[in-house]
Chain A
């Protein structure tokens, strides 16, 4: 069998993985809104319920929230040009990053800054785009993390390429690609999902259905009840999961990543969550949604739910909470200090990375700009 076994499907006349419609099903979950195991919910493996592992997840959620809050503050202080908050969606960010190994690739959108810092990227580098001092502030190859993608869904085909490359190279690497619900209306989403399935590329498509694309609610984005149901049209498994339930998210992602890593092809995951903040600081959410709706979702906060579960099991108490508070505060203090410094940037750099070798025309323009600056 070749690595790129495009003919296997034709011979069997069907996809290797079973596909079932999910539109009539509630999202998979483990925790109810109060943080208690829900009746008839998923049954995670013991490893996924290990208190130590879950406490690590909880710390990461708290850290993501602290980072997100601090970044929001930095906008108000004029230190960042703009910041799209992921508040309320932290379980998606944490589960995605924790599901990956070092050799795996992450493809974030502009709303996934928290995932960048969870991956280990320093905050100053992660927020370079939003600070406006460059486009991408980190080395994507070093962190196996592509630049945050702004044109919706266009990162999807890149995930297919990374996954296909890993497959052809015989590496066990997986590509995990974030989308928002709005991105599922884009052509590139469809092309990426279809191609990934045809190539059986090791890709996990994680749609954070946070109910809004700026102001447009999901029902204006799609007539379908479930985004995960789209998967059956591509011949891949589609899973609808409670995106505010870290335990369920971990379980679903572990399975999808494992399937991709072992040659089982791509998976489409719809994580049902909610964008608690406006699209960005420049948006006014009061123009298109009711505060009661926001309150409904605040009561399903991913951090509170896991916190109550861990507290009930004795894995979390006031002392640990205080310790986490202090860790987060230290990190945010460091962020404030770093962003208080005026950033430095050099006009020459604009010309340096357009081509491997600067063209004569760009050299001339660089000289023109240098002369202009010198004359000031």
Chain B
């Protein structure tokens, strides 16, 4: 699927994020027979989003297999297999379906290296399709990244581009630490011309998606295209917005944030999950700690509403869009 650098010289075919993630899994499995993929419906069906399509056929049902409907068991089994020397990549079918596995993640996956003084690393990758915007009924649209980011011992990453989805997943599988890999399901069918195998920045590094001078939009996952659209519109009015895609929530690229906000003097943190106690609060606090005397305006957040994720007919009111981001930009511009 992804043989080769020869594609770099040829025009690359448009690739969806779902296909890029599939290619990353396939390439990692081809390179290392310790990489195994398992979860609910990942085998013959290829996953409900078809992200694992073809892996069972290609690598056999010892390398890619369906599990009982038991998320704690999936997570705990992955931990045991990692201790034994495998590199499990498990799928939690939907964001909210990962909750039964919380105890395994928090009490064991995140802590095993620490509690054994480094003797037992657990290189498990947990793939979680997350977020709304696909018209999902309840329990299918949560953004749960803050719970995981709050837990020391985990890396938490989320791609926003097709290229990053391949590269970050390869990085995650290569990592000796557990990685929670949040896949913005609204972007599964976004396309880009990408030559594989693509490698972008390391886990822990942010990326400037658009350069600007007036304000910084700090975002990740599904809000990156939202911020790009907002920046596009603002540019027509002469306001140049910088768009900083965090890519990795843990470790967080403090330097990239400080460098950008220190220059622009204004910061708007944009994410889809609930604002209260959310990851944006952490980013805003860190900006206040590091950039306070260079700020021209209060740091603001544009986030999901502080309500349970609403039904499909209501979600357009919930999801941060370019207009809501631009309103926040207007307030920031007026302040200084």
Contacts and interface: CB of A to CB of B under 8 A. Distances in A.
A184 interface: no
Given A151-B108, A165-B80, 15 more contacts: A6-B65, A6-B66, A136-B116, A141-B119, A147-B112, A160-B80, A161-B77, A161-B78, A161-B88, A162-B81, A165-B83, A188-B103, A198-B68, A356-B113, A361-B252
A154 B255 CA distance: 38
Contacts of A198: 67-68
A198 B61 CA distance: 14
Interface string B285-308: 000000000000000000000000
A160 B108 CA distance: 15
Contact of A157 (B80, B120, B251, B252): B80
A139 interface: yes
Q: Which 7 A-B pairs have CB atoms at the shortest separation, nearest pair first?
A: A161-B80, A157-B76, A165-B84, A135-B115, A191-B73, A161-B77, A191-B70
B82 interface: yes
Which secondary structure dominates chain B's binding surface?
mixed
B121 interface: yes
A163 B81 CA distance: 8
Interface of B: 36, 60-62, 65-68, 70, 72-73, 75-86, 88, 100, 103-104, 107-108, 111-121, 152-153, 155, 175-177, 204, 250-252, 254-255
B68 A164 contact: no
A4 to B, nearest CB: 5
Contacts of A360: 251, 254-255
Contacts of B118: 352-353
A187 interface: yes
Contact of B80 (A134, A135, A158): A158
Contacts of B175: 356
A158 to B, nearest CB: 4
Interface of A: 2-4, 6, 134-136, 139-142, 146-147, 151, 154, 156-166, 168-169, 175, 187-188, 191-192, 194-195, 198, 349, 352-356, 359-361
B306 to A, nearest CB: 27
Contacts of A156: 76
A4 B113 contact: no
A135 B113 CA distance: 11
B73 A356 contact: no
A194 B252 CA distance: 39
A155 to B, nearest CB: 8
Contact of B120 (A6, A140, A191): A140
A355 B113 contact: yes
Contacts of A154: 72, 76, 103-104, 107-108
Contact of B82 (A159, A161, A194): A161
A139 B81 CA distance: 17
B76 A160 contact: yes
B76 A188 contact: yes
Contacts of A188: 72-73, 76, 103-104
Contacts of A354: 113-114, 152-153
Contacts of A187: 72, 100
A135 B62 contact: no
B92 to A, nearest CB: 14
Interface core residue of A146, A191, A194 (most chain B CB under 10 Å): A191
B228 to A, nearest CB: 28
A136 B117 contact: yes
A54 B111 CA distance: 40
